[in-house]
Amino acid sequence: MASVAASPNSSVSTPRMTCSPEDAFSQFRKWKDEGLTVFVVLTIPHTVSIPLVGVRVDGRVGDLEGTEAVEVEWVGGRLSLNLRGVAFRYAEPREAIDSAVQARAVDRLEACVQADWPAGSGRCMFFARRNDIAPV
């Protein structure tokens, strides 16, 4: 059964449904099987040794390793993420995406699976994008 958690990114409490790794990877497999384009936003917060790192890519779900790793591929590149130990949530795209992209992207994005690493050490948001509309 899904539970509801407050969004850590919002001053207003926004419900997001937690999901199991199995459910999240089932969603990734569905997107892969349907050939959907995914928009990925990966952020790693600032630490003493590294500044904020951010990656945004439009690609397709590639290889999946059980419920531990996902690969996103695009022309000229590939992002492989080890998702072992992350907390997964489903989110509405309009609630999850940052304001810099929201205005031009909200109608293009259909679903979001968010992955949060422990202790705020990183976040990755996977958005399914309608294939009949140009990239974000």
β-strand partners of 41: 56, 125
Weakest mean pLDDT among 8-12, 33-37, 87-91, 118-122: 8-12
- On the 0-12 / 13-18 / 19+ scale of CB atoms within 10 A, 45 is middle
C-alpha distances (whole Å) from 49 to each of 44, 52, 53 are 12, 10, 12
The pLDDT, as a whole number, for residue 129 is: 84
Rounded to whole angstroms, the Cα distance separating 26 from 66 reads 10
pLDDT in tens, 96-134: 666 545 655 666 788 889 999 988 888 898 988 876 555
Rounded to whole angstroms, the Cα distance separating 51 from 83 reads 22
Determine if the pTM surpasses 0.85. Answer: no
Give the amino acid at 7: S
Per-residue pLDDT averaged across 49-75, rounded? 83
Position 2 pLDDT exceeds 80: no
Q: Which domains does the chain have, with CATH numbers?
A: 15-129 (2.30.29)
